[in-house]
Amino acid sequence: MNNNVLVLIFIVVVFIFGGLLYIYNPEPVEFKNPAEELPPVLCTQEVMLCPDGTYVGRTGPNCEFENCIIPPDAIFEDGTIFEEENYGDPVACTMEAKLCPDGTYVGRTGPNCEFTPCP
């Protein structure tokens, strides 16, 4: 009989304590549906040429270009070598072409957007 009374008192104390925590919680956690917070964003289908010749597109809520991923041993078409300390923001070169003496065309490439040497 004595044990039953102690168990009953313990259960009542736990419920009272839980109720007080619920009522007097100074910073309740509000759960939100993440899908309802931001409206869907459609980015333009532009691409940016990275210094290593790959392309990245726009992504994220602000439609910013993704970061160019360049391995440390990357060698560009114009012979320049990628160096970690000299690499800054991604480079978007213009799509100009240069006519070579043999009749072929070369475009801009590399971290400085210089024309590729003619063959």
**Using CA atoms in the order 74, 60, 63, 44, what is the torsion angle rounded to 10 degrees?**
90
**pLDDT band at 46; cut points 50, 70, 90:** confident
Structure token digits, residue 59: 């992504």
Most confident of 41-55, 73-87, 96-110: 96-110
Intra-chain end-to-end CA distance of the chain, in Å:
100
Q: Please compute, for residue 21, the number of CA atoms within 13 A of its CA located in the half-sphere on the CB side.
A: 7
**Using CA atoms in the order 70, 71, 76, 79, what is the torsion angle rounded to 10 degrees?**
140
Average pLDDT over residues 42-47: 80
DSSP string computed for 41-59: ------EEE-TTS-EEEEE
The pLDDT assigned to 65 comes to: 86
64/48 Cα distance (integer angstroms)? 11
**Residue 41 CB coordination number (10 Å):** 11
pLDDT digits (tens, 9 = 90+) for 7-31: 999 999 999 988 888 888 777 777 7
Q: Among 59-68, 72-81, 89-98, whose mean pLDDT is lowest?
A: 72-81
pTM of the model: 0.32
